[in-house]
Chains A and B, each alone.
Chain A
Amino acid sequence: MNTIIDRLFANTTKIVALSILLIVAWIFATLLQHSMESIQALGFNFITESKWAPNLEKFGALPAIYGSVVSTFLAMILAVPLAIGVAIFLSELAPEKLKAPVGVSIELLAAIPSVIYGMWGLFYFVPIIRDVFGGIGISMLTAGIVLSIMILPFMAAVTRDAMNTTPDILKESAYALGGTKWDVIKDIVIPYAKAGIIGSFILALGRAIGETMAVTFVMGNVHKISMDLTAPATSIPVTLANEFTEADSGLYYSSLFELSLLLLVISFTIISIAKFYFLRRKRVA
């Protein structure tokens, strides 16, 4: 009897575990299947065409791709130096009494849903951008800034964790040669934690590029490639969030699914690079 239950239990766990792989495969297959109409009708033009006009049955994803790339790039440019600064502060600089409370608050802020960041952006940041840069305030720039603030807590927390893995004795060795705090950070801590730091930045990039709610509020969903950062724009997730429930033709649907597939492939690739190249999981001994 025990052997039967034993085998049953083992097999149940295995089937459920395997279902994860199945679901992921199913997601890819479904998105691909629903994208077929668009892939066949538009081919490669889908990603090179810059005109997106559903009423004319024109579906060019370039503005959305451009918007995703530029807004994420802006977010990274702003967030990376801040995250490193915060991480240095938390791991090497802050008085002991501040380390824990500030560190924990940053981690808790990383748990606040992105929709809240988006809402804050809309009500409090859009007016500032409007006053400072002119325009309507809803723009690529706003999206980049809100996105950077949203990913900052996550980036700062993981960068700090990576820096904290540097053994004390290694840091002491550098101090013992007459190094200043900054010498030790730039010559020992950062090189030692390099893989972890870069990996977490790329992971943050992967998350940022797929982020929907933080940017949907403040980007405007305008399918136009503009060099003016203060002009409204769109990104892949923003397009999906705004138009998915409005799609009224087969090709429109299908091209939205192709956008989803594209987004999934892009983020899978970025996250895989971060995971496998930089953050190879340390085996639990």
Chain B
Amino acid sequence: MATIIDITEEKALEVRDFEFTYASADEPSIKKLDMPIAKNSITALIGPSGCGKTTLLRAFNRMHDLYPGNEYAGEIIFKDRNILTPNEDLINLRIQIGMIFQKPTAFPMSIFDNVAYGMKLQGIKNRTELNDRVEKALKDAAIWKEVKDRLKHDANGLSGGQQQRLCIARAVAVEPEVLLFDEPTSALDPISTAGIEELIVELRERVSIIIVTHNMQQAARVSDYTGFMYLGELIELGKTEELFVTPKEKLTEEYITGKFG
């Protein structure tokens, strides 16, 4: 019953027959879901709260494994392998698939150390390399000018919008192939939101992006593809401009015209 567009370009990820059940639940929260994610493009996931969009997002980097008892079924193909197998190297996976959260998550350390953190985890100790890559990441995240004179300051002194850019810098610094955004602007003011959206669009050059948002306008503004989820199922996946103008599914139409949700 779902309408899923064929993606012609190369795929970054492919979800096949995916099911997810939380430890505390009897019923799966996501049922039999198939979804391709195009490379170097932005895919937005929309849908009413509780539809499973964040649950799906957190499966891509196996965040659910932090809490015991959660169960996956089906496959998510990334670089020719199923990443849902028990012997998947989660550390490596998470280096390759980065994540940005609903709220800015500046670590309790300096601005520099925040950005350098992922690299240090990988064992990069060379000072000049660290300096160069931190500078580059901060420039990529369009925050270099604001922080270059206070790199040693505590990151928690930055504003919310700046902290979220810092988190993006931290994530891109390890050069991931995919970036997951979980409602990245829900805690920000409109001006910071516009800045982050601009940044996400620019990042598409280098990474594949999946963004969960509760804001349909945001999905329409930034994404190339949009997936609409409802009650744990993917109802429709299409090119963003088509999905918002001529939705194929009745449920999608009702949702984007504000009949529910």
Contacts and interface: CB of A to CB of B under 8 A. Distances in A.
Interface of A: 95-96, 167, 169-180, 183, 187-188, 191-192, 194
B88 to A, nearest CB: 13
Given A169-B102, A172-B63, 12 more contacts: A95-B68, A169-B101, A173-B99, A175-B63, A176-B99, A177-B94, A177-B98, A177-B117, A178-B95, A178-B174, A179-B91, A179-B121
B94 A178 contact: yes
Interface stretch (B44-52, B105-113, B223-231): B105-113
Interface of B: 61, 63, 66, 68-69, 91-92, 94-95, 98-99, 101-103, 105, 107-109, 117-118, 121-122, 167, 170-171, 174
Given A172-B101, A174-B117, A188 B108 contact: yes
Contacts of B98: 176-177
Contact of A177 (B103, B109, B118): B118
Nearest to A192: B108
Contacts of B102: 169
Contacts of B103: 169
Q: Which of A171, A177, A192 has the most CB of B within 10 A?
A: A177
Given A173-B107, A174-B107, A183 B99 contact: no
Given A177-B121, A178-B118, A178-B121, A172 B66 contact: yes
Contacts of B117: 174, 177, 187
A247 B239 CA distance: 92
Contacts of B69: 96
Contacts of B122: 178
A177 B61 contact: no
B108 to A, nearest CB: 4
26 contacts: A169-B101, A169-B103, A170-B105, A170-B107, A172-B63, A172-B66, A173-B99, A173-B101, A173-B105, A174-B107, A175-B94, A176-B61, A176-B94, A176-B98, A176-B171, A177-B98, A177-B170, A178-B91, A178-B118, A178-B121, A178-B122, A179-B121, A187-B117, A188-B107, A191-B108, A192-B108
A95 B69 CA distance: 10
Contacts of A176: 61, 63, 94, 98-99, 171
* Leading 6 A-B pairs by shortest Cβ distance: A173-B105, A176-B99, A177-B118, A178-B95, A191-B108, A178-B94
Nearest to B107: A188
B228 to A, nearest CB: 26
A177 B108 contact: no
Contact of A183 (B63, B92, B95, B121): B121
Nearest to B102: A169
A163 B69 CA distance: 23
Q: Which of A167, A170, A173 has the most CB of B within 10 A?
A: A173
Nearest to B118: A177
Contact of B109 (A167, A178, A179, A191): A191
A180 B99 CA distance: 16
Contact of A169 (B92, B95, B105): B105
A187 B105 CA distance: 13
Nearest to A183: B121
Nearest to B109: A191
A28 B103 CA distance: 50
A194 to B, nearest CB: 8
A266 B102 CA distance: 47
A237 B101 CA distance: 53
Nearest to B99: A176
A96 to B, nearest CB: 6
Contacts of B101: 169, 172-173
A183 B119 CA distance: 13
Contacts of A177: 94-95, 98, 117-118, 121, 170-171, 174
Nearest to A189: B108
Contacts of A194: 108
A180 B95 CA distance: 12
Contacts of B68: 95-96
B120 to A, nearest CB: 9
A177 B91 CA distance: 8
Contacts of B91: 178-180
Nearest to A193: B108
Contacts of B170: 177
A90 to B, nearest CB: 15
A194 B107 CA distance: 13
B83 to A, nearest CB: 14
Contacts of A171: 66
A170 B156 CA distance: 12
Nearest to A95: B68
Contacts of A174: 107, 117
A169 to B, nearest CB: 5
Contacts of A96: 68-69
B117 to A, nearest CB: 6
